[in-house]
Amino acid sequence: MAKEQGSLDHAFVAALEKDGAFATFLTVPDSAEVLGTRRAVRVSGTIDGHPFDATLMPSGDGPHWMPLRVAICKQIGKSQAGEEVEVHLTQRHT
């Protein structure tokens, strides 16, 4: 059963990726278990300490992908594939 909106506490380190449907994205480990769904989910939190809002997109059978806007890449000073970021998901909106 899908979990309701509200507080989250899911922290992880992930490498930026550049292959696929999104210009820059990262893979959210254990997302289906944490979110209780494989559907798109709006979340907020921090990436390298900077606040963000994003929609986690289902990848099919695996974990969700989190597309990164150009603005957040500029804020964190990272945009190259393979660069690692610290992510903390703190709120689920849908």
Give the CATH number for residue 76.
Answer: 2.40.30.100
**pLDDT of 2 strictly over 70:** no
**pLDDT of 1 strictly over 60:** no
Can you give the residue range of the structural domain that contains 51?
6-92
Digit-coded pLDDT (tens) for 3-33: 668 999 999 999 999 986 678 999 999 998 9
* Alpha-carbon gap, residue 77 to 71, rounded angstroms: 10
- pLDDT at position 41, please? 96
Q: Is residue 1 part of a domain?
A: no
If one counts the domains in the chain, the total is 1
* Alpha-carbon gap, residue 27 to 84, rounded angstroms: 11
Put the strands of the sheet holding 6-15 in their side by side order. 6-15, 84-92, 41-47, 50-56
Contact 21, 7 (CB under 8 A): no
Q: Is residue 40 part of a domain?
A: yes
Q: Is residue 37 part of a domain?
A: yes
Contact 56, 8 (CB under 8 A): no
